[in-house]
């Protein structure tokens, strides 16, 4: 189970890294658009669409990374007062009954949506540039698959924490990041 957790955590980190670097072309294209529009008097036909596509992909590809880092917003009026074991139970139930089923279903639907866009060569219809949308839709699918995988890794961390009896015997164990923190968010 530890190797599964480590593999998914690394994969999530890699996908999050790619998502984070999407900010660079977003900033460059936005700066070019501002320069082109206000200095050259000739706005681009592609700036709006690159903007929403890069921003959307950035946020989507960061979802699993945020889960791994325990960075999602949570209402922790009660949660912060729970023991690490109780938090692990709450998290495990959330992953089993909410996150994995809903995100799994969304992954399947987004796969079909992206495949349809690819097969029909669907374009955005948002601007004169009118790019194909399947790469953007692919980022939706990848993001939700990664969220499911990371939720499964977090569930495994919860199970390991709940099965743990002797803390000293499991020093190298990968545990949920919120298990030992009070009021992380």
Rounded Cα distance between 5 and 9, Å, is 6
Q: How many CB atoms lie within 10 A of CB 127?
A: 15
Over the stretch 32-42, which tens digit does the pLDDT of each residue have?
Answer: 999 999 999 99
47 contact partners, CB below 8 Å, separation of at least 6: 29, 30, 32, 33
Say if 112 falls within a structural domain.
yes
Say if 80 falls within a structural domain.
yes
Say if 175 falls within a structural domain.
no
Q: Which of 137, 146, 141, 177 is nearest to 13 (CA)?
A: 146
| pTM, entire model | 0.86
Its domain, for residue 50, covers 2-170
- pLDDT value of position 176: 65
Say if 178 falls within a structural domain.
no
Say if 101 falls within a structural domain.
yes
Over the stretch 70-127, which tens digit does the pLDDT of each residue have?
Answer: 998 888 888 889 999 999 999 999 999 999 999 999 999 999 999 999 999 999 999 8
**Number of domains making up the chain:** 1
Tokens representing 25? 């072309």
Over the stretch 7-17, which tens digit does the pLDDT of each residue have?
Answer: 999 999 999 99
Tokens representing 163? 């099965």
CB of 19 closer than 8 Å to CB of 61: yes
Say if 125 falls within a structural domain.
yes
- pLDDT value of position 165: 62
Say if 14 falls within a structural domain.
yes
Say if 184 falls within a structural domain.
no
């Amino acid at each position: 189970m530890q190797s599964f957790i480590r593999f998914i955590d690394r994969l999530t980190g890699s996908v999050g890294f790619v998502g984070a670097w999407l900010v660079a072309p977003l900033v460059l294209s936005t700066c070019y658009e501002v320069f082109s529009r206000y200095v050259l008097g000739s706005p681009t036909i592609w700036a709006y669409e690159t903007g929403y596509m890069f921003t959307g992909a950035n946020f989507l590809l960061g979802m699993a990374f945020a889960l791994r880092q325990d960075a999602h917003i949570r209402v922790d009026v009660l949660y912060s007062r729970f023991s690490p074991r109780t938090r692990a139970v709450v998290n495990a139930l959330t992953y089993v009954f909410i996150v994995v089923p809903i995100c799994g279903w969304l992954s399947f639907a987004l796969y079909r949506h992206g495949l349809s866009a690819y097969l029909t060569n669907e374009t955005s219809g948002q601007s004169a540039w009118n790019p194909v949308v399947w790469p953007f839709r692919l980022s939706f699918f990848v993001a939700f698959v990664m969220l499911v995988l990371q939720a499964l890794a977090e569930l495994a961390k919860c199970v390991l924490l709940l099965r743990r009896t002797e803390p000293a015997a499991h020093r190298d164990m990968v545990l949920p990041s919120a298990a030992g923190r009070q009021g992380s968010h």
